[in-house]
A and B are shown apart, each in its own frame.
Chain A
Amino acid sequence: MPLKTEPVVINIGPQHPSTHGVFRMRVTFDGEVIVDMEPVLGYLHRGIEKLAEGRTYTQNIVLTDRLDYVASMTNNLAYVMAVEKLAGIKVPERAEYLRVIMSEMMRISSHLIAVGAFINDLGAFFTPFMYMFREREKLLDLFEMVCGQRLTYNYMRIGGVSHDIPEEFLPALGKFVAEMPHFIDEYDQLLRENEIVLVRSKGVGILPREQAINASAAGPVLRGSGVKWDLRKADPYSVYDRFDFEIPTGEIGDNYDRYRVRVEEMRNSVHILEQAISQLPKGEVQAKVPQLLRPPKGEAYGHIEGPKGELGFYLVSDGSIAPYRFHVRAPTLINLTAFRDMIIGWKLADAIITLGSIDICLGEVDR
């Protein structure tokens, strides 16, 4: 007589050690194997898109800090770029360079957390996480030097950046840029060929190339699946066309590929930082922009390659001081839509690390 078995529904989140915030999923298990998964979103919904419609264009910059709080600088950048496109504002060259420096620093910082959290989800008891934080701490010190903040920077302004960098910033950044590759090597020594990491993440949570494109995934998730798509190359914004860097891609789109893509991107970001420091011109950091900006009627979409994927802001102006419509193309929410297909048929432990490898940030998913 066959044993009678029935699927078990386990609710994971919103309070769970490794859902990276308040993500909740209802997972149906057959033993330890996942049969079905249903994400439940909205636990961190703050109505940011609606809030923004009642505030002036400049006031909205602080709201974007609260989207993906792990990478606020790039959120700022994408938003002010959309506004500049809407109002037709030209940004001084020095400000463009500072924006590039900040967003590459932000990328490293965000990827450090992503990789650390991914290894932590593998069960490495916080050690790699703490090592990642050692380097991130230096970056946060640099950010603090620039804008006085460590988490929500509010540094970018419409038409430039809020203020010029202090004198001691560039030497400190140069020191970081010189040290960072050694650190990445040190980290790779422990993890790159670690048998447990390989066994756990290779071939697990595969997102095939076609499916990644169909899901309109972006960022490391898309590149991990082998698609060479990076807005910094595909649609160069700011001054990215002046730098020489590679777009790392994975092969089959498994967790290991996504993890490797992030590590390689950190190396490339360091390389971009090196070039940006040497090319940094002198001059103004802020264009002349009216205190109360009233962009002409129309719409604009500003997008950048954020650490987690294509981050876009769609703005509609009715000629008043506040946007008529403020929409965020949040990369993590869209990447998350592919999550269900990636984990069906795998085990609970695989689902957790796959979620970690997508690198979601609930501030952005729920908005």
Chain B
Amino acid sequence: MNAWDYITQLFGWLRGLFDGTITTLPSWAVVLLDGIIGIILILSFFTTTVMIFIWLERRLVGRFQIRLGPNRAGRFGLLQPVADTIKVLIKEDIVPARGDKWVHWLAPVVVFVPALMLFAVIPIAPTYDGANAILADLNIGILYIIAIGTLGIIGIFMAGWASNNKYSMVGAMRAVAQMISYEIPMVLSIIGVLLMVGSLQMGRIVAEQSIPFILLQPLGFLIYFIGASAELNRCPMDLLEAESEIVAGYHTEYSGIKFSLFYLAEYGNALAVSAIIATLFLAGWKQPFSQELFILPPWLWFVIKLFTVFFVIMWIRSTLPRLRVDQLMGFAWKFLLPLALINIFITGIEVLFWPTSLWALVPINIAIAGGLIFLWSRLFFKLGGGRVEVGV
């Protein structure tokens, strides 16, 4: 027997365990084992992908900025994240003298854990029996994502408060204002998808997407994408760590492993948002165009979609300047929120008069989205969301 046989045997035993055909263990142990295996799988997927993200971002942003990016550690600089990790682990951990020690210590954890928890409900691939490879296919999947995704800002505020630093505090206050504002259009934009599917369950959302929802819900996708990049603190909405203004925002006073937790959480959130967009709007693990013809395995399609979304986020980051805090708020409340509400209304009408061929809806919805954005941006400028006009 070689190593491969042992592994196959182990997996066969595990499958039997979860199927209920092997009853050597009590049921609570099976549930516990199930959970632990899932968490280990997600952790390894999470950390590996985040490392690839960090490497990819540094390389690609380098290319965007006509430089090479890190290329010394390993081939193509592939070991750069490892080097970074080792470097950051051996750094001294500094707590500000008059800062709140316990809150300072807790904050990175509070930021990091929700980023990880989001992956519990993301379907990565179909399993052998047609279900979804998902840790917990909750029937309130999206609600769970929204709830958990908002938790992170508590950690950010804790970090800003505990640092006893004014830059941190300004960053933290901006964070709370920004995240709460953008949460609303973001959640409302998902409702369009929910209306079309009729379920909050992530597995069903993937299953129902015969056409990717980016085509059926272009407006919802745009609003969600903008809202999500605001949640991620990415340019042009990286106000809470705006380097040129408030140094590093809420994590100015963090160093060593705690800082790296923030860093990991940032990329983890980017990964989560990419995964959510891929699932909600890009049909998840489904192969585009045809389900019958096998080109690539479903999990690879999922990863490709995830990286595509991340690439776009990165592209925007390295191109656009930053907005000012009041403009950012104005954009959320005066532009995204009304558009999200209109989107719900239009989707509601479409669901009522559901056409037989969904493809007929695609050009209509794209036209509606384009027209609405055009008209509302004209109105938005009139509402004072645009630039300040000053007479000579």
A and B co-occur in one complex: yes
Binding site for B on A (CB under 8 A): 8, 10-11, 16-18, 32, 119-127, 130-131, 134, 190, 194, 196-200, 202-204, 206, 226, 251-252, 254, 347-350, 352
Q: How far is the CB of A117 from chain B (nearest CB, A)?
A: 9
Q: Is B64 located at the chain interface by the 8 A CB criterion?
A: yes
Binding site for A on B (CB under 8 A): 61, 64-67, 166-167, 170, 235-236, 238, 242-247, 317-327, 386-392
CB pair B323 A200 closer than 8 Å: yes
Known: A32-B325, A125-B235. A203 touches B390 (CB 8 A): yes
Instruction: Show 6 residue pairs from A and B whose CB-CB distance is below 8 angstroms, ordered by the A residue.
Output: A123-B243, A127-B319, A194-B321, A200-B324, A203-B387, A352-B244
Known: A127-B318, A130-B65, A130-B67. A198 touches B387 (CB 8 A): yes
Known: A17-B244, A17-B247, A196-B236. A123 touches B322 (CB 8 A): yes
Q: How far is the CB of A76 from chain B (nearest CB, A)?
A: 31
A60 to B246, alpha carbons, bound, how many Å?
39
> Which chain B residue lies CB-closest to A120?
B244
A204 to B323, alpha carbons, bound, how many Å?
13
| Minimum-distance CB pairs A-B, first 10 | A123-B322, A203-B388, A122-B321, A18-B244, A130-B65, A124-B321, A202-B387, A203-B390, A199-B387, A349-B324
- Additional A-B contact list (9), CB under 8 Å, known A18-B244, A124-B321: A122-B321, A122-B322, A123-B235, A125-B61, A198-B387, A200-B321, A200-B322, A348-B245, A349-B324
Most buried by A among B167, B324, B392: B324
Q: Report chain B residues within 8 Å CB of A11.
A: 166
Q: Report chain B residues within 8 Å CB of A190.
A: 319
8 Å CB contact of A347 from B67, B236, B325, B389: B325
A348 to B318, alpha carbons, bound, how many Å?
22
A352 to B67, alpha carbons, bound, how many Å?
26
A352 to B242, alpha carbons, bound, how many Å?
11
Q: How far is the CB of A225 from chain B (nearest CB, A)?
A: 11
A222 to B238, alpha carbons, bound, how many Å?
33
Q: Report chain B residues within 8 Å CB of A347.
A: 324-326
CB pair B166 A196 closer than 8 Å: no
8 Å CB contact of B325 from A17, A206, A254, A349: A349
> Which chain A residue lies CB-closest to B377?
A195
> Which chain B residue lies CB-closest to A254?
B390
CB pair A126 B65 closer than 8 Å: yes
Most buried by B among A11, A32, A134, A226: A32
CB pair B67 A123 closer than 8 Å: no
CB pair B322 A196 closer than 8 Å: yes
8 Å CB contact of B322 from A130, A251, A254, A349: A349
Q: Report chain A residues within 8 Å CB of B65.
A: 126-127, 130-131
- How many A-B contacts if CB must be within 8 Å? 98
A134 to B64, alpha carbons, bound, how many Å?
13
CB pair A123 B247 closer than 8 Å: no
> Which chain B residue lies CB-closest to A130?
B65
> Which chain B residue lies CB-closest to A209?
B392
CB pair B170 A127 closer than 8 Å: no
CB pair B246 A348 closer than 8 Å: yes
Q: Report chain B residues within 8 Å CB of A350.
A: 324
> Which chain B residue lies CB-closest to A353?
B244
A190 to B64, alpha carbons, bound, how many Å?
13
Known: A130-B66, A203-B387. A16 touches B247 (CB 8 A): yes
> Which chain A residue lies CB-closest to B323?
A196
Q: Report chain B residues within 8 Å CB of A226.
A: 392
A202 to B67, alpha carbons, bound, how many Å?
31
Q: How far is the CB of B70 from chain A (nearest CB, A)?
A: 15
CB pair B390 A252 closer than 8 Å: yes
Q: Report chain A residues within 8 Å CB of B327.
A: 199-200
Q: How far is the CB of B243 from chain A (nearest CB, A)?
A: 5
A131 to B242, alpha carbons, bound, how many Å?
21
Q: Report chain A residues within 8 Å CB of B246.
A: 348
Known: A199-B387, A204-B388. A124 touches B322 (CB 8 A): yes
Q: Report chain A residues within 8 Å CB of B243.
A: 17-18, 123
Q: Report chain B residues within 8 Å CB of A199.
A: 323-324, 327, 386-387
A350 to B322, alpha carbons, bound, how many Å?
11
Q: How far is the CB of A349 from chain B (nearest CB, A)?
A: 5
Q: Report chain B residues within 8 Å CB of A202.
A: 387-388
8 Å CB contact of A18 from B61, B245, B317, B321: B245
A200 to B235, alpha carbons, bound, how many Å?
14
Q: Report chain A residues within 8 Å CB of B244.
A: 17-18, 120-123, 352
> Which chain A residue lies CB-closest to B317?
A125
CB pair A349 B388 closer than 8 Å: no
> Which chain B residue lies CB-closest to A204?
B388
Q: How far is the CB of A114 from chain B (nearest CB, A)?
A: 15
